[in-house]
A and B are shown apart, each in its own frame.
Chain A
């Protein structure tokens, strides 16, 4: 079986600046991969390439073995669900309709008109994200953390084999951050491949199967957390070192 996501020599530039250079990676079913790196390292761009919303200048991005650039948008969405960092909604739709959008590539209807089975999936995703209490409210009345959980539920509701999540822990309080990481661990245990861009190195070290460290558009390290977070990488890329308490301290 082919990998859920495979990038070969992917390269993209913005004007004269290389945003991503020579990215080669592969993510298998059931793997939880944390993508870390300083601001501007190219984490979001990498996820956009994988989601197919941004074309690679050169190189190849494959979703479940087929070239993402050649896939129609709808079919691409069957292979992956992408959570953008930017989560503003143009209209004050209800949370449930927002989560129903996760089913767009299959149903494309608002919550009330979803078929029974799809609506059950939407409800389940909302419940798993702890969003049931406020899912029927308009999204513009929700707090940042509540919005984040609605959007995470939207991505889960897609039922895609690959989740591409751009900083899903943003705006969440510590308790909900841990809940979300446990939720994602459970998803991965069920066979979903997950690529997660994040800033919290301690969280990445604790939960990831594999860590990919991006630095100025290149992969600086990739491997199990203990290998990827070598003293040299921590110092060079992040300017920190492991602290005795399990956290990180400035070099």
Chain B
């Protein structure tokens, strides 16, 4: 039962990372004060439960969702470089968020920004599905995704270009850099149902991803319903990605790197890869966010920047070594 042992080990690792994240920057003392049930210690309670814990859990949730989405998309497209970022889902979702900020829709309702982020993610994946579903080639799907990603990027650049004042510009930039600072339980609460739905859909596709190792015709010959698998993975990853962008903005590369690191531990089985990738990516983002909090910069480095600084070289390394890209 190797898959179960891996998941247990990663679960322990994730818990350890959360504990570490709660303890740095003098957090250990607050944690002890809270646990010793010192009635008069409201400050410790607020610091730990209302400020640090939501931030840490946001980091874990966003990482896990992106790791799961990346593993599922790689299985579906049989390509180790697929992830929500490459396919333009993250970009479109961030565009939704940026539109909400730019047109000040966020002032109208707290739901406007997360809502638009998720709707845009669903819209782009639906578009990918209709464009790609008719063709057998997954290479086409990836190329369309790359195009969509650039399109979303250029519209966001246009909005920043036309930003009416420096304040809205800095708002937009903050969003694009990606961060989980100052996230509250309300942010997690909005994302949680979408995350849960996405996790359910993607895990339902796990056996099918295994069959897809032999290609779409091969999987169909084995008895897999390929269009159902595609629908499950694409809808599931849209929900996972949209909700994550709504919480943290754009955080790139974890979706590519986590499945790549985990693959040897599950004998390269694309179905068994899903849960370990989620746990590992969540842990990595918790640790990265902890590092961001500890690093002695005058301004706090954004989590998305840290993730990209580590992830982009890893991406290049994987791309240079991977065999059969775009098969």
| Interface positions of A (Cβ within 8 A of B) | 48, 51-54, 72-78, 81-82, 84, 86, 88-94, 97-98, 101-102, 104-105, 108-110, 112-113, 138, 140
Contacts and interface: CB of A to CB of B under 8 A. Distances in A.
Nearest to B323: A140
B211 A51 contact: no
Contacts of B2: 112
B138 to A, nearest CB: 10
B220 A53 contact: yes
B271 interface: yes
Interface in B9-68: none
Interface of B: 1-3, 78-79, 207, 210-215, 217-218, 220-226, 263, 267-272, 323-324, 327
A97 B214 CA distance: 12
A140 B327 CA distance: 15
A138 B269 CA distance: 11
Task: Name which of A53, A54, A138 has the most chain B CB atoms within 10 A of its CB.
Answer: A53
B215 A52 contact: no
Given A90-B213, A104-B207, 13 more contacts: A54-B217, A78-B223, A81-B221, A84-B214, A84-B215, A86-B215, A90-B214, A93-B267, A101-B210, A101-B222, A105-B223, A113-B1, A113-B3
B211 A108 contact: yes
Nearest to A109: B207
21 contacts: A52-B221, A73-B220, A73-B226, A77-B222, A84-B214, A84-B215, A84-B217, A84-B218, A86-B217, A90-B78, A90-B270, A90-B324, A91-B268, A91-B270, A93-B267, A93-B269, A97-B269, A102-B222, A104-B223, A109-B207, A110-B267
A47 to B, nearest CB: 10
B210 A108 contact: yes
A86 B214 CA distance: 9
A101 B267 contact: no
